[in-house]
Amino acid sequence: MNSPLFTNTVLHWGAVFLYVLGTIATAWGIIFQRPGVEKAGFRLMVPGLLMHGLALGLRWLDSGHGPYMVKCEVLSSDAWLALGLFLLLARFVPALRPASLIVFPAVFLLVAISLFLNPAIQELPPTLRSIWLVFHVAFYKIALATLLIALACSIFFIVKSRWLQVNWLGRLPELPALDLLAYRFTSFGFVFWGIAMLSGSVWAYQSWGRFWGWDPVETWSLLTWVGFGLYLHLRRFFQWAGEKAAYLSILCFLLSIASLFFTALIESSAHSSYFS
Amino acid sequence: MGRPWKSLKIINRRHGVLTLVLLLLAGLAGMALIPQRSVLTVDEMAAWQAAHPFLQQVVGEWGLDRIATAPWFLLLLLVLLLALLGSLASQATIALQRTRQLLAGRHSGREGQAALSSPGNGAEASASSVPPGLWRLPAIVACWGSPLFHLGLALVMVSSLLLVTTEQRAVFRLHEEETQAGDEAPLHEEHGLFARPLALPGAVRLEQVRPEYWPDGALKQLTSYLTITEGADSRHCRLAINQPVVEQGVRLQQLENYGKAFFLTISSQASAASVALLIKQPREAGRAAYGTFIFPASPYEIKAKYQPWSPADNGPQNNLLTLRLENDKGVEGQLLLALGETGRLGPYTVTVRHVSNWAEFAASHARGRAGIVTGFLLIILGSALLYLYPGSGKGPGWNNWIGCQPFCL
């Protein structure tokens, strides 16, 4: 009962409980136009985030390395960073708050899934002991968090433009603002994704003696980055906006999920031996 | 001037760039979805080809199984680089114009904001004035965010192309007390279009391999001690994973593949042969190590297995070797031997003479690394200037962030 894994699991479940309550309250507040309930929902997420952060911090101390070795800690830390970044941005950009309808459920689902995976601590292999790995993982997590917000804005754009008669959708920002937010966050994610890829290349050279080997994970990551580049190019030079831009953004997000979570499972990938 | 200049202009136009990006996407999608020779082993490729005979015909005919080294793909990257350089030139020109305007302080109010905004980028210009006084300096610096980002990208691309065309890399595998001569063929070798095969900085002899383990049996570090001999001169060096050594411009790296080498004498009534079985240790702690070897000049295959030592065993390293002799009829014999023991394996007598460790190393020489790291730093700097400058004359404020100078490509 006193084992670190037990403490970690209890803290995670506590965070999930608070996240679920916060999500319900926020959704209720937005849909039924109760600003007080919405605010309470946001406030509930903060102690959840702190509890979640404490769980990750304790695990970091126990394992001696960051949360990027085992699938459960990868998903958990992705969720924590996404939520932390979203709460920070929503504090200063109130127009983002309705995106909580997508971000909050995504966060608690990620944490819940991580709790059903093997939580055993894995020691860091010598190849992964490099500061470049920390940059590589951190930048990918930030990119994913911002792309998640962009996804929320794109989904809201499509929903609002098609179901204008639904009352609560009026609480969402205006369509041009949603469109612009999706553009901004996608470009932010694009930059961080590129930086993450480059830091991975530098780390690969340090560990394996080659910058780029067309590994499946590397190829899919570059494919995703160029996909987002296409989106930005179409917006910038062809004035793509509205629904077609939103659909393209969603497609690129799905590519990013495949790239981050599924291609590492391909056996021929150098990443698979560490993360399978 | 004339046609070449016009061609350059075409690739810099928006449809030209779009076409290039779509072609790149198609190439990358092909690499992601079609098995590539550079990624799969020969056996894996053969297995895929056997399972997909029709696809294999199409793929082979069009060279879709080696897109990364296809001349058209390299040409595409070159043209993209030219387009990027063109974009960089126009971004730098715009940034220079704005810098001059801001330095001259010619604009204020809405005129100033219009001067700060790029045409056609779809952003709403917020109604703010050109920053007065000291605030003008950050505005000037922020103008250079996009050009710096493009410069970083271009530098990374140029350095990558330089690296790919001039890179030399070789992988060699040694067991303890074995020497790789400078001119001996390595296990694996690759070099760029304009490079020769890598020459080692002398004969490399592996003196000792020392693995260290975590309490759960996972590998903590792998250290090798090498002696490099060139003529009468010899030098000792120590390699570990993520701790490379540079010898005469050649970078030597410890790779993570290692294991046990079992030296056997296999004799029959007619002859005797010395055989070395190098079996790779699995990454996962506690798992057995397996290897399959073709027994030369015979119809047999030898399957070998040993159980790597685990710290939990509290004992000496386990050098028990299990051998199985197979042919197309099935298993002809099985044997368990320790160091120094002799046994019968099918029609052969097998003796384990010696056991030692082996490891793999990479030797590489590449130009362009500094360019990639510099480009990386420029990308970070350019992005920071693009996103962290608030864009409003009223000082930092995240509420103004939406209206700030948008990301320009």
- Model confidence over A127-146: pLDDT tens digits? 888 888 889 999 999 999 99
CB A47 within 8 A of CB A18: yes
User: Within an 8 Å CB–CB cutoff, is residue A213 touching chain B?
Assistant: yes
Question: ipTM of this model?
Answer: 0.79
Q: Test B256 with A177 for CB contact under 8 angstroms.
A: no
Residues of A with CB below 8 A from B188's CB? none
Q: In 10 A of CB A1, how many CB atoms? A: 5
Residue B223: CA count within 13 A, CB half-sphere:
8
Nearest C-alpha of chain A: how many angstroms from B162?
Answer: 12
Q: Which residue bears the tokens 């790291």?
A: B373
User: Measured between alpha carbons, how far is residue B5 from residues B2, B79, B91 in Å?
Assistant: 6, 13, 19
Q: Test B40 with A268 for CB contact under 8 angstroms.
A: yes
Distance CA A60, CA A55 (A): 9
- Model confidence over B307-318: pLDDT tens digits? 876 555 544 556
Residues of B with CB below 8 A from A199's CB? 376
- Model confidence over A62-85: pLDDT tens digits? 888 888 888 899 999 999 999 999
* pLDDT, position B407: 35
Q: How do beta strands B219-230 and B289-294 pair?
A: unpaired
CA A101 centroid distance within chain: 14
Q: Test A125 with B255 for CB contact under 8 angstroms.
A: no
- Model confidence over A191-211: pLDDT tens digits? 899 999 989 988 888 888 788
Q: Strand pairing partners for B206?
A: B226
Torsion angle (degrees, nearest 10) of CA B20, B5, B375, B396: -90
CA A274 centroid distance within chain: 21
CB B268 within 8 A of CB B348: yes
* B 323-352: CB under 8 A from A: none
Q: Which residues of chain B have pLDDT under 70?
A: 1-12, 106-136, 309-318, 388-409
* pLDDT, position A253: 95
Q: Which residue of B has its CA nearest to A259?
A: B32
User: Measured between alpha carbons, how far is residue B369 from residues A198, A204, B204 in Å?
Assistant: 12, 12, 25
Q: What DSSP string runs through A102-120?
A: HHHHHHHHHHHHHHTS---
Mean pLDDT in residue range A243-248? 94
User: Within an 8 Å CB–CB cutoff, is residue A181 touching chain B?
Assistant: yes
Residues of A with CB below 8 A from B247's CB? none
Helix (H, G, I), strand (E, B) or coil at B217: coil
User: Within an 8 Å CB–CB cutoff, is residue B33 touching chain A?
Assistant: no
Distance CA B364, CA B295 (A): 33
* pLDDT, position B190: 82
* pLDDT, position B235: 92
List b or e across A112-133, with b for residues whose CB sees 16 or more CB atoms inside 10 angstroms. bebbeeebebbbbbbbbebebb
Q: Strand pairing partners for B225?
A: B208, B238
* A 110-149: CB under 8 A from B: 122-123, 125-127, 129-130
Q: Which residue of B has its CA nearest to A126?
A: B221
Select from B17, B91, B376 the residue whose CB has the most chain A CBs within 10 Å, as the one to mutate to test that interface.
B376
Q: Test B364 with A210 for CB contact under 8 angstroms.
A: yes
